[in-house]
Amino acid sequence: MSADEQSHAHVPVLLDRVVALLEPSLADEGAVLVDCTLGMGGHSEAVLKRIPTAHVVGIDRDPEALARAGRRLAPFGDRFTAVHAVYDEISDVLAELGRPSVGGADAVLFDLGVSSLQLDERDRGFAYREDAPLDMRMDPTRGPTAADLLNTYEAADLTRVLRDFGEEKFARRIADAIVERRARTPFTTSGPLVELLYDVIPAPARRTGGHPAKRTFQALRMEVNDELAVLRRALPASLEAIGVGGRVVVESYHSLEDRLVKRAFTAGSRSEVPADLPFVPEGSEPELRLVTRGAEKADADETTHNPRAASVRLRAVERVRPAGSNPSTASTPSSTDRTRKQDGGARR
């Protein structure tokens, strides 16, 4: 690993707790973890080191992250397999590896949001503290950039993105200013956008809630990468992918993401039997069991050393009955549209 890559080999948020939650599902020889957000490979490396029975399939849409994680995890040989894909394609990934899409994995992990690599690479445009191209694509080879959205979206659409994904209370004011500014000079880099935000957001609001560009950049990133729609498709697919005793573990950093996770986990773990019934009829038991009580958070010590941990919400669920065994709680099939060719390669 190069010195640059070593600098990125940070400790992921709640690493020990995540591995502990995954371990019971990976005890059997050849057990498979699908790391849906491989990133720089931090979670996968910890699993491969601490659970010698495990094999990891690492998914990422970022080719550069795949390459770096591949070099980091090369010492584990064929215990690690990297796949260039978006994580809502988990069913297709398992099928291409010769495993069933239902029950073909023993555990699935999601560490949502942007990776440290993407934040640290200036030309990717995820960070707002220096002037850089407004890209923000997790896969820089496909799709419109953040600049494309800023220069083409109507004011109403920009308002929706900033309000819904960034929870920005000045969304309409910012959207109108963007439309007015781009009529004179289209957006290409982050500097002019940050300047605009400083001008548009009132001074009292700028003094609270962190950097004034934080919410806008988060919203643009989520729109560029279609993050919530991908997660909506990925959650039911991941729950179907695990067999009995398998677990799905999710780290979220945004309330909208965590809400989707909570809803999916709760629906699968809730009994449809009336509460006043003295027993649960055979075949009516829930398919899933909640492993965490609500959402777990990082402690003060971890938050002090890693500010990103302050917003983490960790949830885990375990399959206790086969997928589809209870029609009232069966997961909705994933509706991925896989039109692009995925390649192996080797992301956190």
Distance CA 205, CA 135 (A): 27
User: Is 111 annotated as a binding-site member?
Assistant: yes
Calculated CA dihedral for residues 6, 12, 17, 18, nearest 10 degrees:
-100
> Which residue bears the tokens 């629906």?
267
User: Is 43 annotated as a binding-site member?
Assistant: yes
Distance CA 38, CA 25 (A): 19
User: Is 60 annotated as a binding-site member?
Assistant: yes
User: Is 55 annotated as a binding-site member?
Assistant: no
φ, ψ dihedrals at 309, nearest 5° = -70, -15
User: Is 118 annotated as a binding-site member?
Assistant: yes
Distance CA 275, CA 336 (A): 36
Distance CA 177, CA 206 (A): 17
User: Is 258 annotated as a binding-site member?
Assistant: no
Q: Which spans in the chain are helix H?
A: 3-8, 15-22, 42-50, 63-73, 90-96, 116-120, 146-152, 155-166, 171-184, 190-200, 203-206, 214-224, 227-241, 255-269, 300-305
φ, ψ dihedrals at 342, nearest 5° = -100, 140
User: Is 245 annotated as a binding-site member?
Assistant: no
Residues making up the annotated binding site are 41-43, 60, 87, 111, 118
Residues making up the annotated binding site for S-adenosyl-L-methionine are 41-43, 60, 87, 111, 118
